[in-house]
Amino acid sequence: MQDQTQAGPDALSTYFFQIADAAQTQTSDPSYALFSIIRQVMAAATQVLDSVAGTCQSPVPECASGCSFCCHSRIHVMPLEAIVICSYVHKYFSPGEMQSLKTRIRSNLTYTRGRSLVQRVAVKDKTPCVFLDHHACSIYGQRPFICRTWNSLSRQDCETAFISGNQNAEIPCLSAPNYVYTLARDVVQSVCETMHLETGRFELVSAMDRCLGMKDAPSAWTGGCTVFGRSGGESLEDTEKKGEKGGM
């Protein structure tokens, strides 16, 4: 691997595109290729950041298991991220865990659907991320790019901002994770656009509602269908009302 720690944005993007190209040529299965692309680009971004951390004396974030203030924020994902998570929960969540997840999705949407940001902030303690389980991320290895960008040099500042409801609070943080993971995410998004797949940014809860409400969202999306942005369509609630299993 070339040393990417000194690379500018163009060189870093080019590097991530090379990783994506290489991942794509490793298989003729387009679905598998997409999963491989996002995983390998994420891994490359993590490797770049580890290299940076090993070459400079930057402070260490105070983020740790059990601290979950940032997991009460609104999370946006691109379709491929939602599809990866959907495939993961279908494969690894037990029936009980899946049922709990669906309950959390419905509860979250009850509080947030159609509400303004101010209204949502007022109920943020009731609307943690649907994947937060006892203050830990239940999909940690599959968490979206946005969750990887967040870090904090002051747990106390996060707590103060959370309690006060100040969504504009300045939390001291390292800029490198935001910079590197955002570039990596943009490269993956660009690859999806090149493949004429649905792209965009969608709220994680709504995206999961849509995915789990369909029989086989991963196949539909990788087959070129519009899954997340279509108007109408089935939600988790619609599917369960009909007594279907929503792809379980």
- Contact residues toward ligand SF4 (CB under 6 A) are 71, 75, 129, 131-132, 137, 139, 143, 147
CA-wise closest residue to 191 among 32, 5, 6, 33: 33
Which residue's CB is nearer to ligand SF4, number 123 or number 132?
132
Instruction: Tell the smallest beta-carbon distance from residue 182 to ligand SF4 (Å).
Output: 15
Instruction: Tell the smallest beta-carbon distance from residue 227 to ligand SF4 (Å).
Output: 19
Which residue's CB is nearer to ligand SF4, number 147 or number 180?
147
Cα 14 from chain centre: 23
Exposure b/e, 15-25, CB count within 10 A at least 16 = b: bbeebbeebbe
Residues 6+ apart with CB under 8 A from 161: 69, 167, 169, 171
Distance, CA of 38 to CA of 34 (rounded, Å): 6
Q: What 3-state DSSP class applies to 164? A: helix
Residue 213 near residue 235, CB atoms below 8 Å: yes
Which residue's CB is nearer to ligand SF4, number 41 or number 70?
70
Which residue's CB is nearer to ligand SF4, number 137 or number 171?
137
Instruction: Tell the smallest beta-carbon distance from residue 219 to ligand SF4 (Å).
Output: 23
CA-wise closest residue to 216 among 181, 246, 174: 246
Instruction: Tell the smallest beta-carbon distance from residue 242 to ligand SF4 (Å).
Output: 28
Which residue's CB is nearer to ligand SF4, number 143 or number 210?
143
Strand partners, 136: 133
Instruction: Tell the smallest beta-carbon distance from residue 103 to ligand SF4 (Å).
Output: 16
Instruction: Tell the smallest beta-carbon distance from residue 70 to ligand SF4 (Å).
Output: 7
Which residue's CB is nearer to ligand SF4, number 16 or number 150?
150
HEC-encoded secondary structure of 17-62: HHHHHHHHHCCCCHHHHHHHHHHHHHHHHHHHHHHHHHHCCCCCCC
